[in-house]
Amino acid sequence: MVARGNASWSALPPETQFEYDAALAGWKAAAEQGFEMAQHNLGCLYDFGRGVPQNYDEALKWYKMAATQGHPESQVNLGALFQNGRGVAQSDTEAVKWWQKGQGNGQVFLGNAYANGCGVALNYEEAARWFRKAAVQGHADAQLCLGQLYESGRGIVKSDMEAERWFIMAAEQGNLEAQHNLGIFHKSKRAVAPSDVEAVRWWTLDTQLPRVVSGTCIQTAAE
């Protein structure tokens, strides 16, 4: 499917409008028959306004149908709707309930919930547990957050070596904040093999402001 991006419906070329119309018709028919993937896809269209006017109520409806059937991405997205109060009353508790059912990104969101006390009691040990689950699956945001916990010693034994290791994993996937932190680690001689050249290399890759993981309050490396 061609991504609509921020273009208005009227600005889309006819062939793209036709593509969305065809997808919408096919998915709606399948969704009404109970197919969870089609329900999820419909939820995404309404959530992001692709091929249809953005409608969080409709997104909520279709995500919930798919989520109750066990679709992990719908469970994560449904939690995000509750977290942001889109199409439903804002509720961190409900968001956490759905993230606990999900996989991958849901584990990252759960880690952030425990790290910030949103919908659950503040608990850095639990935050570390959920970040690690996602980090070992290759999620860059989780790798960054786990590195931050090792750096600060919150909920885990403080270790600059472990912090650097997880920052490297995230940075190699293009995570800007991890790249920025690695530059600081090298410049402040906290890296395993500190190098001003490496500091410059990571800061050169970090060409934008450090990207903040949604909802996290974990402190990054201090210069």
Q: What is the mean pLDDT of residues 128-134?
A: 96
* Domains located in the chain, CATH noted: 14-102 (1.25.40.10), 127-223 (1.25.40.10)
What average pLDDT does range 80-107 have in this prediction?
93
Q: What is the DSSP string of 150-182?
A: HHHTSSS---HHHHHHHHHHHHTTT-HHHHHHH
CA 26 to chain centre: 28
pLDDT in tens, 11-65: 445 556 556 777 788 888 999 999 999 999 999 999 998 878 899 999 999 999 9
CB–CB of 82/94 below 8 Å?
A: yes
Q: What is the pLDDT of residue 17?
A: 54
pLDDT of 96-129, one tens digit each? 999 998 777 899 999 999 999 999 999 999 999 9
- pTM beyond 0.75: the answer is yes
Are 166 and 172 spatial neighbours (Cβ–Cβ below 8 Å)?
no
Q: For the chain, what is the mean pLDDT?
A: 86
CA–CA gap between residue 55 and residue 35 (Å, rounded): 21
Alpha-carbon distance of 39 to 58, in angstroms, equals 11
Conformational region of residue 103, where left means phi above 0, alpha means psi within -120 to 50, and beta covers everything else: beta
pLDDT at 213: 38
